[in-house]
């Protein structure tokens, strides 16, 4: 492999983003949702319906807003939905 094919430590391989599922941030959002659902299935969170449901809704809102923003027609709209996703992450 030539110099061009080598990657330094910490460099990420760049792939073409064709859909929102290709976005690492969307993938991480889905993983967070899975963790939240598992956490809400045990202990005190299982019994606190209000908090449990709010945590779940806020967590699901993160990747869904990323996906919706990605599908919008303009960069401005995309950034708006990323901002909403960020707010939901703060809520979680």
Q: Is the pLDDT of residue 13 over 90?
A: no
Task: Give 68's Cβ-side CA count (13 Å radius).
Answer: 13
Round to whole Å and give the CA distance between 69 and 87: 14
| Domain boundaries defined on the chain | 20-91
Tens of pLDDT, residue by residue over 33-87, are 999 999 999 888 888 999 999 999 999 999 999 999 999 999 999 999 999 999 9
**What homologous superfamily does CATH list for 20-91?**
23S rRNA-intervening sequence (1.20.1440.60)
- Tokens standing for 90? 């703060």
Which of the four pLDDT bands, split at 50, 70 and 90, describes residue 3? very low
What value, to the nearest 5°, has the Cα angle with vertex 11 and ends 92 and 1?
145
């Amino acid at each position: 492999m030539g110099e061009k094919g080598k990657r330094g430590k910490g460099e990420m391989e760049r792939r073409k983003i064709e859909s929102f599922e290709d976005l690492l941030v969307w993938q991480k959002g889905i993983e967070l949702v899975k963790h939240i659902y598992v956490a809400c299935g045990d202990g005190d969170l299982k019994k606190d319906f209000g908090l449990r449901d709010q945590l779940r809704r806020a967590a699901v809102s993160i990747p869904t807003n990323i996906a919706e923003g990605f599908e919008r027609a303009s960069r401005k709209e995309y950034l708006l939905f990323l901002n909403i996703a960020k707010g939901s992450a703060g809520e979680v």
